[in-house]
């Protein structure tokens, strides 16, 4: 246990607070994924009398509210402290989670979904800012990598657990849907944890008005933030079509994805240390080039066995991108306005995430089955070149 604790990027005095904030964010993601992706898509049309198109619209507007609210959410964190904002957001999220399945009127249903999205918007910039501020010296890249990768599995857990509980034979418990009860219970749990953090300022600062003009330095990062997430999410709607083209069964696809995930998690600690020691931009560029090669490989793979090394390469690339990007952003952001700036960057990232599936689907349908992978590879290469030029420019500015 001591060895594990020593391997983490946060000192023991701050570890409990950081872990609790990350856990609140992870459980929040579990609840929202389960609620929108698994529960409401089945419960809305069958029980609430809402068609699937309306549920899908509410889902999209929920994420849009989260995306557009992140910069404002960072501002709230800076002004009032992460602990208070997180506790209030958790309580608001509990209200929305409890009321959404009861809101049979379309306008009320969409309004609650958007309010739920706004309740999440301060958490990502706030928790990522806390992760870097609480980290030991020269551990920022690893801190961001550990925090992000700590949250990611809960997204899948939320979908799988809610789907399992939403099966007809387990649909209700004392007349109440079991999946809904589970999601409300998780939201209650995270609200209790959030309340225990009320007094923690975390990412907040005492003087949020200072260094406001330095946010202009982030403008060059905004296009890159959008493009790299766009490239990463292009494969979402076509991955099953790609698997069918290779005659790869669902279990085979899950195994290939599992191999990539194991490579990413296995390498994260090492790539995070490398980013902190050698410079996050170098690791980020290596990760982008690795992702580029993986996408090119996916475009030309014709044998199922060849997917395994490609998946390992993609996982290693992702393990470089996460701490590399996080470490680079942490170095460039103004210390006293970090949550606000991170919120602005996350807005750009989420816009890329929203556009990626549409671009991937369009490329598959109109440009051919290799097109999404080649377009994605070109985008990764372009962003890698951009970072090379950006870091050269920053070094020249320091010299002059």
Residue 48 DSSP class: I
| Number of residues that this document lists for the chain | 400
**DSSP notation for 84-95:** HHHHHHHHHHHH
Indicate the range of 21-30, 52-61, 191-200 predicted with least confidence: 52-61
pLDDT tens digits, one per residue of 162-209: 888 876 555 566 667 889 999 999 999 999 999 999 988 765 554 445
Lowest mean pLDDT among 56-70, 192-206, 378-392: 192-206
Give me the sign of the Cα torsion angle 272, 229, 75, 125: negative
Domain residue spans in the chain?
10-195, 214-395
How far apart (Å, rounded) are the C-alpha atoms in residues 261 and 75?
34
Rounded Cα gap, residues 362 and 236, in angstroms: 12
Domains 10-195 and 214-395 share a fold: yes
d(CA 137, CA 215): 23
| Strand extents, DSSP E, the chain | 172-173, 176-177
Name beta bridge partners: 239: none
| pLDDT tens digit sequence for 301-359 | 989 999 999 999 999 999 999 999 888 887 877 776 778 888 888 888 888 888 888 89
Output the pTM of the full model: 0.84
User: Greater confidence, 212 or 94?
Assistant: 94
Say whether 302 sits in a helix, a strand or coil. coil
* Cα gap 228→232, rounded to integer Å: 6
Q: What topology does CATH give the domain 10-195? A: Growth Hormone; Chain: A; (1.20.1250)
- pLDDT, residue 59, reads 87
Topology (CATH) of 214-395 = Growth Hormone; Chain: A; (1.20.1250)
**238-291 pLDDT per residue, tens:** 888 898 899 989 889 889 999 999 999 999 999 999 998 888 989 999 999 999
At 134, the pLDDT band (50, 70, 90 cuts) reads confident
């Amino acid at each position: 246990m001591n060895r594990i604790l020593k391997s983490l990027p946060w000192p023991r005095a701050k570890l409990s607070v950081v872990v609790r904030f990350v856990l609140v964010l992870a459980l929040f993601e579990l609840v929202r994924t389960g609620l929108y992706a698994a529960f409401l898509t089945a419960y809305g049309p069958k029980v609430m009398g809402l068609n699937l198109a309306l549920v899908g619209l509410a889902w999209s507007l929920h994420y849009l509210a989260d995306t557009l609210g992140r910069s404002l959410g960072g501002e709230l964190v800076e002004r009032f402290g992460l602990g208070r904002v997180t506790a209030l957001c958790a309580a608001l999220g509990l209200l929305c989670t409890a009321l959404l399945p009861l809101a049979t009127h379309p306008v009320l249903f969409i309004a609650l979904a958007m309010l739920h999205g706004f309740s999440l918007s301060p958490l990502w910039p706030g928790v990522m800012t806390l992760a870097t501020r609480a980290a030991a010296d020269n551990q920022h890249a690893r801190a961001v990598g550990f925090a992000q990768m700590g949250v990611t599995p809960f997204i899948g857990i939320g979908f799988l657990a809610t789907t399992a509980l939403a099966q007809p034979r387990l649909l209700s418990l004392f007349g109440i849907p079991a999946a809904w009860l589970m999601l409300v219970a998780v939201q209650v749990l995270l609200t209790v944890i959030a309340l225990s953090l009320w007094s923690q300022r975390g990412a907040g600062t005492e003087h949020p008005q200072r260094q406001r003009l330095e946010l202009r330095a982030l403008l060059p990062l905004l296009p890159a933030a959008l493009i790299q997430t766009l490239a990463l999410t292009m494969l979402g709607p076509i991955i099953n079509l790609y698997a069918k083209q290779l005659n790869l069964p669902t279990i085979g696809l899950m195994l290939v994805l599992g191999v990539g995930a194991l490579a990413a998690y296995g390498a994260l600690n090492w790539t995070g240390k490398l980013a902190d020691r050698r410079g996050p931009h170098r690791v980020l560029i290596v990760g982008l080039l690795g992702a580029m090669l993986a996408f090119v490989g996916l475009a030309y793979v014709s044998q199922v066995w060849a997917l395994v090394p490609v998946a390992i390469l993609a996982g290693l690339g992702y393990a470089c991108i996460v701490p590399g990007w996080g470490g680079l952003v942490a170095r460039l952001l103004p210390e006293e306005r970090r949550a606000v700036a991170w919120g602005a960057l996350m807005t750009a990232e989420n816009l890329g995430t929203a556009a990626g599936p549409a671009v991937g689907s369009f490329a598959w349908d109109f440009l051919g089955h290799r097109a999404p992978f080649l377009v994605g590879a070109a985008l990764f290469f372009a962003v890698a070149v951009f970072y090379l030029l950006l870091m050269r420019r920053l070094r020249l500015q320091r010299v002059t």
